[in-house]
Structure 1
Amino acid sequence: MQGIRPVGREASSRKYDLLSALMAHGLAGDKHRQRLVLRLMALITTRYNWQRDELTVGQAEIARLWSVDERTVKRDMARLRDLGWIVVKRPGARGRVSVLGLAFDRILLDTRPAWPNIGPDFVARMGGAGPEQAGAGEDSTVIPFRRPRPAATGSGPWAAACALLAAEDAPVFDAWLAPLTEAGIEGGQLVLLAPSRFHASYVLANLRERLVTALRRADPSLAGVTVRA
């Protein structure tokens, strides 16, 4: 999957690619998702600093841009953070607003099912021609063979998260996430066991955000994830 580079060569076209992916995703969703995506696109096009990956704007200003009250702003910004599309880079303090950033990889993963609606040229350009290619370009250390995928049994958060993770990026799931096993919940965090110390280190270093996002979508009460060998 082709990543978005906010600066450098082809930066302008990549910005349009991100907005196009969001647009197609929104149009394919229900009215609530359409409204949320439109509001995010409004923030990106009017207030987002591409070079610094920073969105620094107060709730009152967002409310004015969206033509809503601040309560609605607080609710929808929380939804965008829960989706993993917006991340807090620096919390607000002493009268200063929070500095936010965009999680490009997360947005691209979530919008990928709608890419064909734009056209095959867009899918090919973004590197999403097929599920087997989806995770191959992200890291050269991804194991190229497929492991037997365990059935997601039960109705717990890990089973639900596995279904989400496998659907969004099958090669990466099969190589790194399928071998993890659930070992309970400690301090609000789901504990997962990896087959080796290296495996646990790789998952924490490269896939922790994906895990946390999927788990919070499955169970919003979870605060995070711990991976042990």
Structure 2
Amino acid sequence: MVTTVVKNWEGEESGEATLDLKVAKEENAAHIVHRALVRQHANARQGTASTKTRAEVRGGGRKPWRQKGTGRARAGSIRSPLWKGGGVIFGPKPRDYSKKMNRKERRLALRTALNSRLDDLIVVEEFADQFTRPKTKQLVTALKRWGVSEDEKALLLLPQKDENVYLSGRNVANLKLGLANYLNIHDLLVADKIITTSSALAMIQEVYSD
């Protein structure tokens, strides 16, 4: 179990929050997190790259010149891979890059990745009621009070999508907004700082505790 400080809207300490997640053993932690990261990146690939073989390129049905007597190399088609405009040898074809990983392993990798970032975790009180309308400057100022500098990449985890908070944060260059019940390995590892509210932290505990 890990105990962390909770900050209020002004950036002052206002209490404590706990997080108790089952993580992978130290000797296996890096391996399982790496597998989950590779899986996420592979599953994001579209796999639509495609080239045409000599059989698929338009034209080339007629032999360009007779076999013998011209002094030139013999040729059977103008769509040979050796010719300009010809087919491609061993070029890419549409394929599925997705990788499989057991659900229990994926969740274990998420918990392990989050646990490894506890030193960069900032827990704050609920602040959605501070935004009666979208206000980017107000959110940026709050991030500074919580200890996030402008050049740091930040991940803000919320218990649910709040329209005003979302509209306030979507144009901030180094800020990414996410939901506590939809964590992903890449965002957890890339962020320099992870900000979460008390209720979002409780949701993480509830959703990912098994």
Q: TM-score, normalised by structure 2?
A: 0.25
- Say which structure is richer in helix: 1
Tell which structure's C-alpha radius of gyration is larger: 2
Higher relative contact order (CA 8 A, sep 6+): 2
What is the TM-score normalised by the length of structure 1?
Answer: 0.24
